[in-house]
Structure 1
């Protein structure tokens, strides 16, 4: 199920894009979680709390008289969500070559000056591509966790561990490249993906990425010296699980 956000500061264009989007979503019977229309870039960035291949952003390039504001917004989105789909929708076709220099990996560039029917066709093509990308990625190897507040979707192989946050009802996901906070319970995460192993009351880990277990200090180590705690009672069971999973090739055990 996709989440769609639109950045457009012209009220007539807002109405047009929303109308065409809702029409395409209905005609193509595309399931979507929400459709947000924003006139200010800060509002859209603040609202972009989800992560994953299901995220879709339609961005105007010129916002409030700033010619390349949409490109800067795209960069901010890409930092928050490397896997989101970004589509530029603009009357400034001359900016098409410039979008590549911003290195945001936009999925498409749609010229707003085209007629409604052609616009609808382009929107339909983009959403079809997003769905295919999402389905292929989820089928391959993703960790997906959905709550009322947000959806988290990251490649499972990149996960080190998930821990409870000092902030009530929040969790922190640690991967090879980033740290992601989201609302949820550790027990629900473990139900959502049985590949994760609860090695401590506050930690669930991806055993495939463990490189060292230090029984003396009760620490589990990952690449880049990332660490989490393993309870004394879970140490032997964790080591055995790593060995039986076939991921123990380079694992070191310190006693």
Structure 2
């Protein structure tokens, strides 16, 4: 679901944007929700910290109260943590536009309130449609990637580079990922990952592997080999199933 956030310190404008988004969701039956409507950047940050896998559409005023770049600062924070964030600035400050490029925010649009609410609304509705299209494309792409979180950072690896997961020795609440030029440890359970990514193969009670990246499988030794001289053990009772899968 595409999750939408509005940061605007003017109560009337904040309510207006909220109604535009809600109406668009209802009329077009969009796979979209309005999560946070606020004048406080921290409210959006708090939500995102608790929901680190959010796919978001962010409507930000640049100036919040006496803070001339509060919206820009929040956008930088969002961009650093959410690679697919779709950010729209709504402002009267045309001179601020260059800062969005300087800070590498890469917004999808820059709406000037001075144009009048009718034009702003029309542009915003078009942006919402575009954001939904981009989100749908992202979902298709993400099915080809493995995602995991370390602290507050979210990472993704294409399955073409993913080898296997193993439960960390002595800690069933942590997993170690083995991938092309990458090894990392993160919090998680193997059973949950097996459910989330059904195309992966449970080769052992502590190992979940990617059959697509196996280079060879030694059935006698019960060892699956991957690029970069990586390998993992396969349980005896799983040998036949993996052999069949690799045919």
Distance 2:3 2:184 in 1: 22
5+ residue gaps, structure 1, are: 146-151, 245-255
Aligned to 2:135: 134
Q: After superposition, where does 1:55-134 map in structure 2 within 5 Å?
A: 55-134=56-135
Q: How many residues align?
A: 232
- TM-score, structure 2 normalization: 0.69
| 2:191 matches 1:195 | no
- TM-score, structure 1 normalization: 0.67
Distance 1:84 1:137 in 2: 11
Distance 1:66 1:174 in 2: 45
Stretch deviating more after TM superposition (191-200 or 79-88): 191-200
Distance 2:10 2:237 in 1: 58
Helix, strand or coil: the match of 1:104?
Answer: coil
Q: Which protein shows a greater Rg?
A: 2
Distance 2:65 2:233 in 1: 52
Distance 2:197 2:9 in 1: 41
5+ residue gaps, structure 2, are: 147-153
Q: 1:228 to 1:82 in 2, by over 3 A?
A: farther
Aligned to 1:37: 37
Contact 1:141 1:155 in 2 (8 A): no
Helix, strand or coil: the match of 1:55?
Answer: strand
Helix, strand or coil: the match of 1:113?
Answer: helix
Two-structure CA RMSD over aligned residues (Å): 4.3
Deviation at 1:167, TM superposition (A): 9.3
Aligned to 2:149: none
- Equivalent position to 2:159, from 157, 160, 169: 157
